[in-house]
């Protein structure tokens, strides 16, 4: 009777060599492109998303008094994190347009967008104290929503655009 463990081990050897060759041949996937990284206070990544030049994302949260969703939308532009626009569904506490900072445009539903902000974020990063479940801070990329509140409620995080080296 043949030793099946030895046969199985020999069958895996080419696959292992192929994997080792791929690792040695080039960079790990994703290291040659920019990434959006949300990390906790100790620097541990909680979320890492590829973010190619020209792509964008939003930070969405529920207003602490009114409960409706507010959006700040960013774009990867020439290696920089740039605040592009914000959506405010109401003129609730703390939500008003500052003249000279972008332009206010109706959203057609009683709220408004502040367009053309085009403000580079210093150091391509900002700190955020993530709200609890009622606030539910979340990243929005295309149609995907990632709840930061599920990952780090009531904790500080850093949202950073990391460019390839």
- Whether 2 is in a domain gets the answer no
Please state, as a whole number, how many other Cβ atoms lie within 10 Å of the Cβ of residue 38. 22
Average pLDDT over residues 13-28: 37
- Whether 92 is in a domain gets the answer yes
- Whether 41 is in a domain gets the answer yes
Domain total in the chain: 1
- Per-residue pLDDT at 97: 52
- Whether 13 is in a domain gets the answer no
- Whether 156 is in a domain gets the answer yes
Pairing of strands 56-62, 119-120: unpaired
Give tens-digit pLDDT for 75-125.
Answer: 999 999 999 999 987 665 555 556 667 888 888 888 889 899 999 999 999
Q: pTM above 0.85? A: no
- Whether 11 is in a domain gets the answer no
CA distance 99 to 108: 20
Domain that holds residue 41: 35-162
- Whether 6 is in a domain gets the answer no
- Whether 146 is in a domain gets the answer yes
- Per-residue pLDDT at 107: 85
Of the pLDDT bands very low, low, confident and very high (cuts 50, 70, 90), residue 164 is: confident
Helices (H), 26-158: 148-152
CA-CA-CA-CA dihedral for 86, 89, 94, 96, to nearest 10? 70
């Amino acid at each position: 009777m043949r030793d099946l463990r030895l046969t199985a081990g020999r069958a895996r050897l080419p696959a292992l060599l192929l994997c080792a060759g791929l690792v040695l041949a080039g960079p790990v996937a994703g290291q040659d492109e920019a990434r959006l990284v949300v990390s906790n206070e100790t620097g541990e990544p909680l979320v890492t998303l590829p973010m190619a030049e020209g792509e964008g994302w939003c930070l969405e949260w529920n207003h602490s008094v009114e409960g409706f969703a507010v959006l700040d939308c960013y774009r990867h532009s020439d290696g920089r994190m740039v605040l592009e626009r914000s959506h405010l569904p109401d003129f609730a506490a703390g939500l008003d347009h500052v003249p000279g900072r972008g332009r206010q445009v109706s959203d057609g539903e009683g709220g408004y967008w502040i367009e053309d902000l085009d403000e580079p974020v210093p150091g391509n990063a900002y700190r955020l104290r993530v709200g609890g479940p009622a606030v539910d801070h979340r990243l929005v990329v295309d149609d995907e929503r990632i709840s930061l509140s599920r990952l780090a409620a009531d904790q500080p995080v850093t949202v950073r655009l990391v460019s390839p080296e």
